[in-house]
Amino acid sequence: AQTVTQSQPEMSVQEAETVTLSCTYDTSESDYYLFWYKQPPSRQMILVIRQEAYKQQNATENRFSVNFQKAAKSFSLKISDSQLGDAAMYFCAYRSYTGTASKLTFGTGTRLQVTL
Amino acid sequence: EAGVTQFPSHSVIEKGQTVTLRCDPISGHDNLYWYRRVMGKEIKFLLHFVKESKQDESGMPNNRFLAERTGGTYSTLKVQPAELEDSGVYFCASSQDWGRKGNEQFFGPGTRLTVL
């Protein structure tokens, strides 16, 4: 079974600075997806960024980028030029690429605080 | 376009009582998922519907939980009888396709269930 580990329960960053959230995972599969989801306080969880394991290029979405290290099974999220609206719970998630199993396996989350 | 909605947003019940949670997916989404987050822990998969059929119910904790999706539209998750350990936030998500496409799962705001 796959597992996802987020070792940072809480992180803090100053506005306009850069922060990196860590995620490691364990799997025996070679093909899969990795995701970062964001859940702002009292709001719905939304997808931030997605990475397909077969792609060597790291995914980027505006100020959000990932450092995907397949051999090390590491998938960190970098937030550049942090904004107050980035304050949220961030969840790393894994999904198998093949077969009918499309469930997401999540980590425990990292609460990000953004300070002035 | 309306997002995934869940009802109620909060529910407080006594141990031994019954509670029914409802999820309305995004219109046209065949896939519907239930997840649960117990305080401080990871979000765990419960089950996956494709239209009205249960595709994967490997995450259902026990037979006190019953999920239905009659007609392939909204879904209900009934807990009967509720136990203390059932407390947590129940999330519903929907997606348009499954298989190799890795389509985004859109999440609802969750139902916070407290069993006293």
Q: Which residues of B touch A108 (CB under 8 A)?
A: 40-42
Task: Give mean pLDDT, residues A16-41.
Answer: 95
Q: What percent of chain A has pLDDT over 70?
A: 97
Per-residue pLDDT tens for B2-17? 899 999 999 999 999 9
| C-beta atoms of B45 and A103 within 8 A | yes
Note the pLDDT of residue A56: 86
For residue A47, give the 3-state DSSP assignment.
Answer: strand
Query: What distance in Å separates the CA atoms of residue A26 and residue B96, rounded to the nearest whole number?
Result: 27
- Calculate the alpha carbon distances from B26 to A14, A25, B30, B44, B93 in Å: 36, 30, 9, 21, 9
Q: Determine which helix (DSSP H) or strand (DSSP E) holds A10, and give its type and residue range.
A: strand A10-14
The confidence band for B102, taking pLDDT boundaries of 50, 70 and 90, is: low
Partners of residue A4 on adjacent β-strands? A25
Predicted local distance difference test score (pLDDT) of residue A102: 83
Stated length of chain B: 116
Residue B49: pLDDT band with limits 50, 70, 90: very high
Q: Please give the Cα distance from B84 to A57 (Å, whole number).
A: 46
Instruction: Quick: pLDDT tens for A73-98.
Output: 999 999 999 999 999 999 999 998 76
* Residues of chain B found within 8 Å of residue A96, distances taken between Cβ atoms: none
Q: Which of A6, A103, A104 to mutate to test the interface with B (most CBs of B within 10 A)?
A: A103
Q: Which of the four pLDDT bands, split at 50, 70 and 90, describes residue B76?
A: very high
pLDDT score of B71: 87
The stretch A89-110 carries a mean pLDDT of 87
pLDDT at B72 over 90: no
Give the one of A47, A101, A109 whose C-beta lies nearest to B56's C-beta. A101
Tell me the percentage of chain B whose pLDDT exceeds 90. 77
Q: Which residues of A touch B41 (CB under 8 A)?
A: 108
Q: Which residues of chain B from 25 to 54 reach within 8 Å of chain A, CB to CB? A: 31, 33, 35, 40-45, 48
Q: Do B107 and A95 touch (CB under 8 A)?
A: no
- CB contact (8 A) between residue B109 and residue A44: yes
| Cα–Cα distance measured from residue B10 to residue B84, given in angstroms and rounded to the nearest whole number | 16
Determine the pLDDT at residue A7.
96
How far apart CA A75 and CA A65 sit, in angstroms, is 10
* pLDDT for residue A31: 87
Q: What percent of chain A has pLDDT over 90?
A: 83
pLDDT of residue A51 exceeding 80, the answer is yes
Res B114: pLDDT: 97
Q: What is the pLDDT of residues B18-33, one digit of tens each?
A: 999 999 999 988 899 9
Q: What is the rounded average pLDDT for all residues in chain B?
A: 91
Per DSSP (E only), the strands in B1-110 are: 5-7, 10-13, 19-24, 31-37, 43-50, 53-56, 65-68, 75-79, 88-95, 106-107
